[in-house]
Copies of this chain bind each other. A is one copy, B any other.
Amino acid sequence: MKPVYQANSRLDLSFTRVVDVPRALVWRAWTEPALLKPWFCPLPWTTIDCEIDLRPGGVFRTVMQSPEGAQFPNQGCYLEVVPNEKLVWTNALLPGFRPSLPAATCGSEDANFMFTAMLELADDAAGTRYTATVIHADEAGSKKHAEMGFEAGWGAALDQLVAMLKRGV
């Protein structure tokens, strides 16, 4: 059976890296709040709160804080949870699969910024093959996410994740 996800290079952003840490620990770092908060935002930004209900429709909520102390809450829900292998979530649906409030995005520069994110983990001779993909409704959303520094930001966060795991969890 073909996968439900159909890649679209105009609408999607993706990068793959091999990291020399165990797959099961990368999974834990993405799915346990105490292990997610230390690495999830590239410093000097930090993640000051995190809530995870690891099942389809369950909450994935984080609060990011800028170096100046401004707080930025984000909320969405998980769509697919395959332990140690695949994690899919979106900000287009809130917990319980309730649609996100369109009033918060219509007419603003965030209007095109609904996305679904997919994390895929696989074994690699050198450790773990790590693929992160974000998919959007239109090119404007994809372009905005790219300009916000998707790959650099997620890459810097991944460096922090790996460093944390090497220090020992």
A: residues with CB less than 8 A from B are 3-6, 8, 11, 53, 55-58, 77, 79-80, 88, 90, 92-103, 105-107, 111-112, 114-116, 135-138, 141
Contact = CB atoms under 8 A, between A and B. Distances in A.
A32 to B, nearest CB: 17
Contacts of A97: 4-5, 79-80, 88, 90, 116, 135
A99 B4 contact: no
Contacts of A112: 102-103
Leading 6 A-B pairs by shortest Cβ distance: A4-B57, A99-B114, A106-B106, A5-B96, A92-B99, A99-B137
Nearest to A118: B97
A93 B92 contact: yes
A109 B92 CA distance: 19
Given A5-B57, A79-B79, A80-B57, A102 B111 contact: yes
A137 B105 CA distance: 12
A115 B99 contact: yes
B96 A137 contact: no
A39 B8 CA distance: 35
Given A96-B4, A96-B5, A56 B80 contact: yes
A81 to B, nearest CB: 10
Contacts of A96: 3-6, 135
A94 B8 CA distance: 13
Contact of A137 (B53, B79, B98, B111): B98
Given A77-B4, A93-B93, A98 B135 contact: yes
